[in-house]
């Protein structure tokens, strides 16, 4: 069974983190909600979240670690020395990391986006470009860089696309679930309206 940790910090964008948890659990992935400094998290919209544990060395054991955004949540992730050390170790050993919305600022500060293709919430690329000058910013909904083992996405409305990109990177069959959740309907109609 594949395993994923979603790291929640105070000020996180709740829908981004919970969309990952929801979609991947439907795909039979063991998904753990992990708090940055506490098991009790207050999101950006004052939604209380209860995590199973706080970050520790077990983050090195997951198939993928994902970081939801939210400005202050992403800043909390970015400024955590403990999380930085764990994510750098994961990256150095070729393990998947993922971040969306504002959270790529954490990966940029950690040095993980150097040389990588990535995206983020509009405007945050100014900080990512400063901290990861050799990274390649894209305006796609999601960006999966298989060479650097990094998945990124833009913001709250792209949370499902991000969750499915994570599923695809973990070699899961996402097609049936996309149909059951009507995500394929959404994809088709967005393409038709463009």
| Secondary structure of the chain in HEC code, one letter for each residue | CCEEEEEECCCCCHHHHHHHHHHHHHCCCEEEEEECCCCEEECCCCCEEECCEECCHHHHHCCEEEECCCHHHHHHHHCCHHHHHHHHHHHHCCCEEEEECCCHHHHHHHCCCCCCEECCCCCCHHHHHHHCCCCEECCCCEEEECCCCEEEECCHHHHHHHHHHHHHHCCCCCHHHHHHCCHHHHHHHHHHHC
Q: Number of folded domains in the chain?
A: 1
- Output the domain CATH number for residue 63: 3.40.50.880
Q: What range does the domain containing 176 cover?
A: 3-193
pTM exceeds 0.85, yes or no: yes
Encode pLDDT of 40-71 as tens digits.
999 999 999 999 999 999 999 999 999 999 99
Encode pLDDT of 98-152 as tens digits.
999 999 999 999 999 999 999 999 999 999 999 999 999 999 999 999 999 999 9
């Amino acid at each position: 069974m594949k395993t994923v940790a979603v790291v929640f910090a105070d000020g996180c964008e709740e829908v981004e983190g919970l969309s990952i948890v929801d979609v991947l659990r439907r795909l039979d992935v063991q998904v753990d909600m992990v708090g940055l400094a506490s098991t009790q998290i207050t999101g950006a919209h004052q939604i209380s979240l209860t995590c199973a544990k706080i970050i520790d060395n077990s983050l090195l054991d997951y198939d993928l670690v994902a970081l939801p955004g939210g400005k202050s949540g992403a800043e909390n992730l970015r400024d955590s020395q403990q999380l930085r050390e764990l994510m750098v170790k994961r990256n150095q050993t070729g393990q998947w990391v993922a971040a969306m919305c504002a959270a790529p600022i954490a990966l940029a500060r950690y040095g993980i986006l150097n040389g990588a293709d990535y995206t983020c919430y509009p405007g945050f690329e100014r900080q990512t470009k400063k901290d990861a000058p050799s990274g390649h910013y894209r305006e796609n909904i999601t960006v999966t860089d298989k060479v650097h083992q990094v998945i990124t996405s833009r913001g709250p409305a792209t949370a499902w696309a991000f969750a499915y990109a994570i599923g695809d990177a973990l070699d899961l069959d996402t097609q049936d679930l996309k149909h059951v959740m009507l995500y394929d309907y959404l994809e088709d109609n967005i393409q038709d309206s463009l």
